[in-house]
Amino acid sequence: ICIKDMAALLSPFYADQLVRRLKEEISVPLQLHCHYIGGLAPMTYLKAIEAGIDVIDTATVPLAFGNSQPATEMIVTALIGTPYDTQLDLEKLFRMAKYFEGVRRETGHDRGVTSLTHMQVYSHQVPGGMISNLESQLKEQNALERLPEVLEEIPVVRAEVGFPPLVTPMSQIVGTQAVLNVLSGKRWHIVPDEMKEYLRGHYGAAPGPVSQEILLRVLDGEQPVDCRPAELIQETVALFEEQIGGLARCEEDVLSYALFPQTARAYLERHRLGPESDVFGRHDHYIKQFPAQAMSAATGDRVQQILAMVDESDVDEVTVEEGDLRITVRKSTVGGGQELSPAAEPVTAPSRAAAAPGDEADGHHVVRSPMVGTFYRAASPGAPPFVEVGDQVSMGQTLCILEAMKLMNELTADVDGVIRKIGAQDGQPVEYGQMLFAIETA
């Protein structure tokens, strides 16, 4: 049994009481999972250990603290010489930590810290994983400074939809709705499909009463289901396996596609290196090599010879080609001395304008993107587009789906008219304010 403290609100003495009481009643192993956030977790872990907890969750130090778990190295050191000594080798732990410190830097992830916003968890009670998602979402929308407003909006949204527990997936659904309410300036103007499904009852009954005003606004008179939601499912695993085909390497991939068809397909198309590479970063991007190591031994020897020749001569640059491999050795001056360094060939970035056709609306009514996200013209891969150029549309009709903050958001027409231009390509990212559709009004 795992006690999961996502919001880092479990205090040391309550943890002691909880673990001791559970140990009196059950014989199965007990595990404790605390996020660091405000800083209680290490103390909570120590009291839980004294009370008899069997397993605690920690993270290697480059990935610890903040919204993550306490550092493994910290807890291991705290227990040395006690009856609870883990016997783990600190030197080996630090070697692993150095590796993941490189991964953290390469991937641009910030180090975990505890800020005032994190400490306020004792007030707003938003789980750490949810805070990190909110920060990521707001950074994506260039609106990180509005995090305090979102944290104030979350309890309001949660109350309106019947106080669902802030755990996955409801933490993401409630949090994203709060972000959309704040950023759009119009509460409940944009509602993700997942929130609509929750209000329809497809996630089960809400723990508390749901605002009738919200139900009417979002569902437009549609009544929530009054049966077990699973009874309404018509899709089968076999159907999803057929649709995703060879992109799925395991059952989890199939289930991911079933839950998030657009996102999962795009992810699986990009990640075919296997779990060792996808999860742990164990590929050439992190395991550094000199360019010569990617070539044949003979070519590598030639490169070394050329390096020596360039160093002793007035030649500034030499290029070596072998098959599809091309390496340029360039002599550069740093701090008054000379340094030889392999230089990658420059790659010309594609034009941004070329990726987003249809910037001009020719005087027609413009529907712009209300957020940064990914533009989808259809409800699922292989499905027909919601609209085509020349289609007649009515106010409230779905034009596209914008995937933002890991949720799908339907964008609807705000006027009646005819589609004259579509300003984005299917599956491509769009910016805030970018023209998506030009509609000729009647």
Which domains does the chain possess? 2-107 (3.20.20.70), 116-228 (1.10.472.90), 234-270 (no CATH), 365-441 (2.40.50.100)
pLDDT for the residue 249? 87
pLDDT for the residue 414? 87
Q: Convert the pLDDT of each residue in 194-211 to its tens digit.
A: 899 999 999 999 999 999
pLDDT for the residue 293? 44
CA 66 to CA 59: how far, in whole Å? Answer: 11
DSSP for residue 71: B
pLDDT-based confidence at 47, cuts 50/70/90? very high
The yes-or-no verdict on residue 38 having pLDDT over 60 is yes
pLDDT-based confidence at 301, cuts 50/70/90? low
Higher-scoring residue by pLDDT: 129, 230 = 230
Q: Convert the pLDDT of each residue in 161-189 to its tens digit.
A: 999 988 878 888 898 899 889 888 889 98
pLDDT-based confidence at 97, cuts 50/70/90? very high
Q: What number of other Cβ atoms are within 10 A of residue 290's Cβ? A: 12
From the list 233, 225, 133, 122, the residue with the least C-alpha distance to 174 is: 133
CA 205 to CA 228: how far, in whole Å? Answer: 9
Higher-scoring residue by pLDDT: 263, 1 = 1
Partners of 187 in the β-ladder = none
Helix (H, G, I), strand (E, B) or coil at 331: strand
Q: Convert the pLDDT of each residue in 225-277 to its tens digit.
A: 988 988 888 889 999 999 888 888 889 999 988 887 877 887 888 776 555 55
- The residue type found at 374 is T
Contacts of 28 (CB under 8 A, 6+ apart): 1
How far the first Cα of the chain sits from its last, in Å, is 63
Provide, rounded to the nearest whole percent, the portion of the chain with pLDDT above 90. 40
Helix (H, G, I), strand (E, B) or coil at 158: helix
Q: Convert the pLDDT of each residue in 372-402 to its tens digit.
A: 888 999 887 778 999 999 999 998 898 998 8
Q: What is the pTM of this model?
A: 0.58
pLDDT for the residue 340? 45
CA 194 to CA 202: how far, in whole Å? Answer: 9
Q: What is the 3-state secondary structure (H, E, C) of 167-211?
A: CCCHHHHHHHHHHHHHHHCCCCCCCEHHHHHHHCCCCCCCCCCCC
Answer whether 86's CB lies under 8 Å from 117's CB.
Answer: no
Q: Kindly give the residue spans of alpha helices, DSSP state H, lying in 313-437.
A: 352-355
The yes-or-no verdict on residue 289 having pLDDT over 60 is no
pLDDT-based confidence at 352, cuts 50/70/90? very low
In this structure, the chain runs to a length of 442
Answer whether 363's CB lies under 8 Å from 435's CB.
Answer: no
Residue matched to tokens 């075919």: 272
Higher-scoring residue by pLDDT: 31, 114 = 31
Provide, rounded to the nearest whole percent, the portion of the chain with pLDDT above 70. 79
Q: What number of other Cβ atoms are within 10 A of residue 341's Cβ? A: 11
The yes-or-no verdict on residue 286 having pLDDT over 70 is no
pLDDT for the residue 399? 93
pLDDT-based confidence at 113, cuts 50/70/90? confident
Q: What is the mean pLDDT of the chain?
A: 81
Q: Which of 83-87, 118-122, 329-333, 388-392 has the lowest mean pLDDT?
A: 329-333
Q: Convert the pLDDT of each residue in 17-33 to its tens digit.
A: 999 999 999 999 999 99
Contacts of 122 (CB under 8 A, 6+ apart): 9, 38
